[in-house]
Amino acid sequence: MDLKSVIRGIPDFPKPGILFQDITPVMTDPEAYAAAVDGLVDLLDGVEFDTFAAIESRGFIFGGPLALDLEKGMVLVRKAGKLPADVRSVDYDLEYGSATLEIHSEAIQAGDSVMIVDDLLATGGTALATAQLVRECGGEVAGFLFLVELDFLKGREKLEAEAPVFSLVNYS
């Protein structure tokens, strides 16, 4: 299935000059959603890792089905103040400002190999912050997995210094 035909571009969102790639139509179409998850599973064929770290909130949309399909666990990486137990946190810059991410301190054990998953790779700031959290917990980053990559923003270049990058749909 051509997922680009399902993903819609929204001009001037969240600010003028940005063409936002909206993945929500993928989830409203069961065939497209299944194709997206299946395609992401295929990208990971032969890649060894222990668990997923899914980034709030759209990373959860793919992390859950992937974890079930591949019989892996899934760790939640959330915005500040959303996790109830002891957390590690990291402040970082992103395309439109700054933010804080958190992970439960015990969610990743020393030596765990972690695949970071999110819906979209833009500049790479959120994924890099997540990688920092994984390492602070004692884990190793096995790779980064995205449904969509915006090649022109060159986020891959930042991430490849850390681990392999896998993306299903690319926009130049």
Count of other CB atoms within 10 angstroms of residue 66: 21
Catalytic residue among 31, 48, 56, 58: 58
Question: Active site residue: 95, 135, 136, 140, which one?
Answer: 95
Burial letters 2-23, b for 16+ CB under 10 A, else e? ebeebbeeeeeeeeeeeeebeb
Distance CA 118, CA 53 (A): 9
First to last CA, the chain: 19
Asked about 58 being catalytic, the answer comes back as yes
Q: Is 48 a catalytic residue?
A: no
Supply the residues annotated as catalytic: 58, 95
